[in-house]
């Protein structure tokens, strides 16, 4: 039987799961909407074929942490992701608008985009992707890129460099959440990969690096306390920006609703984190009831010192009581470090 303390930690993990970090909801390529990958596609037969890479392990909308930075199968396109079956055409110099279904305001951090040239994007493997950085935004004008994304209708606009050679590419879009990054291994990477076929008459073939060479756990932009000090000097991690990149930050055409922009900038990190639990996007009564119970137990989970074995077993966004109980049983005894980190993030 799990102890009370373990149960509290497990409930913290549930809170992390129901507090959806989000996944992509739409990808607009040169004005055309493409269906984004939804982790629940794995329950559909046949699963929809999309331009985004598949990540069945992403049911919890979870993240890749710094301990996985040297594992290209994790950090390239998220955990064990495999190539999307489709490819979207985009003109060099064109725009890809990437929309998330949701994002917690507490999860501040940079947004970075990369591209890797491939022969056939639909059969590409994470280890073969040699990425060059095409876009990056950290902390500018008193605002984190992730906050800007939220006020831009959860949309990030990426410009395909106009000078790159035509052919197929994998676009890698990434948010790095830094709310817990003051502690070792606390950063959270949320990479998403998208298949593109670039048209045009560009000639550049920028050299890149595989994703396992991007970051180290102690990079100044990875292990960083975002609650104190001068953030204007924040250093975006990863390789240098490709010289042909059009700009260092996003400019989407979607008008941000004024009220949401104001809310995003005025809310203090600590204040916003306390509402995260209520923001969950669960869709069954069972899950809602659980979330309520969880909300009250999160605080007690916070100080628990947990072993760091990974019990990151995934719980679907929508689940039956039976699924939940078997998940609880599986998770009992090996509470995850993730639970601790999220519990901390919630502490008001």
Binding site for ligand NAG (CB under 6 A): 26, 99, 153, 251, 254-255
Cα separation, 272 vs 153, in Å, equals 18
Cα separation, 216 vs 219, in Å, equals 5
Task: Scan for tokens 């689940």, then name that residue.
Answer: 319
Kindly list the strands in the beta sheet with 32-35, ordered across the sheet, starting from the edge strand earlier in the chain.
Answer: 32-35, 24-29, 95-100, 155-159
- Tell the smallest beta-carbon distance from residue 283 to ligand NAG (Å): 18
Residue 82 CB: number of other CB atoms within 10 A? 17
Cα separation, 80 vs 98, in Å, equals 21
CA atoms in the 13 A half-sphere facing the CB of 318: 8
- Tell the smallest beta-carbon distance from residue 153 to ligand NAG (Å): 4
Helix (H) or strand (E) holding 34: strand 32-35
- Tell the smallest beta-carbon distance from residue 157 to ligand NAG (Å): 9
Pick 153 or 274: Cβ nearer ligand NAG? 153
Question: Residues, the chain, total?
Answer: 348
- Tell the smallest beta-carbon distance from residue 24 to ligand NAG (Å): 11
- Tell the smallest beta-carbon distance from residue 10 to ligand NAG (Å): 34
Pick 47 or 254: Cβ nearer ligand NAG? 254
Pick 141 or 322: Cβ nearer ligand NAG? 141
Whether residue 46 has a cis bond before it, omega within 30° of 0: yes
Cite the beta strand spans of 188-235 per DSSP E.
Answer: 188-199
- Tell the smallest beta-carbon distance from residue 225 to ligand NAG (Å): 29
Pick 240 or 258: Cβ nearer ligand NAG? 258
Contacts of 154 (CB under 8 A, 6+ apart): 22, 25, 99, 100, 101, 102, 103
Pick 235 or 251: Cβ nearer ligand NAG? 251
Pick 251 or 278: Cβ nearer ligand NAG? 251
CB 12 within 8 A of CB 26: no
- Tell the smallest beta-carbon distance from residue 253 to ligand NAG (Å): 7
Pick 26 or 128: Cβ nearer ligand NAG? 26
Cα separation, 243 vs 192, in Å, equals 23
């Amino acid at each position: 039987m799990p102890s009370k303390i373990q149960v509290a930690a497990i409930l913290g993990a549930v809170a992390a799961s129901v507090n959806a970090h989000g996944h992509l909801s739409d990808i607009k390529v040169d004005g055309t909407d493409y269906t984004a990958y939804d982790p629940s596609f794995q329950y559909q037969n046949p699963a929809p074929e999309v331009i985004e890479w598949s990540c069945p392990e992403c049911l919890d909308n979870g993240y890749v942490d710094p301990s996985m930075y040297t594992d290209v199968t994790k950090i390239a396109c998220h955990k064990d992701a495999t190539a999307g079956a489709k490819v979207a055409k985009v003109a060099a110099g064109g725009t890809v608008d990437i929309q998330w279904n949701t994002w917690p305001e507490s999860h501040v951090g940079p947004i970075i985009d990369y591209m890797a040239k491939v022969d056939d994007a639909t059969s590409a493997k994470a280890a073969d992707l040699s990425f060059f950085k095409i876009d990056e935004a950290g902390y500018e004008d008193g605002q984190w890129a992730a906050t800007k994304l939220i006020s831009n209708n959860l949309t990030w606009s990426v410009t395909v460099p106009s000078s790159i050679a035509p052919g197929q590419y994998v676009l890698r879009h990434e948010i790095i959440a830094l709310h817990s990054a003051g502690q070792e291994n606390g950063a959270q990477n949320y990479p998403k990969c998208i298949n593109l076929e670039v048209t045009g008459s560009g000639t550049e073939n920028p050299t890149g690096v595989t994703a396992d060479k991007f970051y180290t756990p102690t990079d100044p932009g990875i292990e960083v306390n975002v609650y104190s000090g001068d953030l204007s000097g924040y250093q975006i991690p990863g390789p240098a920006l490709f010289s042909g990149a059009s700009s260092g930050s996003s400019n989407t055409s979607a008008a941000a609703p004024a009220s949401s922009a104001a809310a995003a900038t005025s809310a203090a990190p600590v204040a916003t984190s306390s509402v995260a639990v209520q923001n969950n996007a669960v869709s069954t009564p069972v899950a809602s009831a659980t979330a309520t119970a969880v909300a009250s137990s999160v605080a007690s989970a916070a100080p628990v010192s947990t072993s760091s074995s990974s019990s990151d077993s995934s719980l679907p966004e929508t689940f039956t009581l039976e699924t939940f109980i078997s998940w609880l049983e599986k998770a009992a005894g090996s509470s995850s470090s993730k639970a601790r980190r999220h519990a901390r993030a919630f502490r008001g």
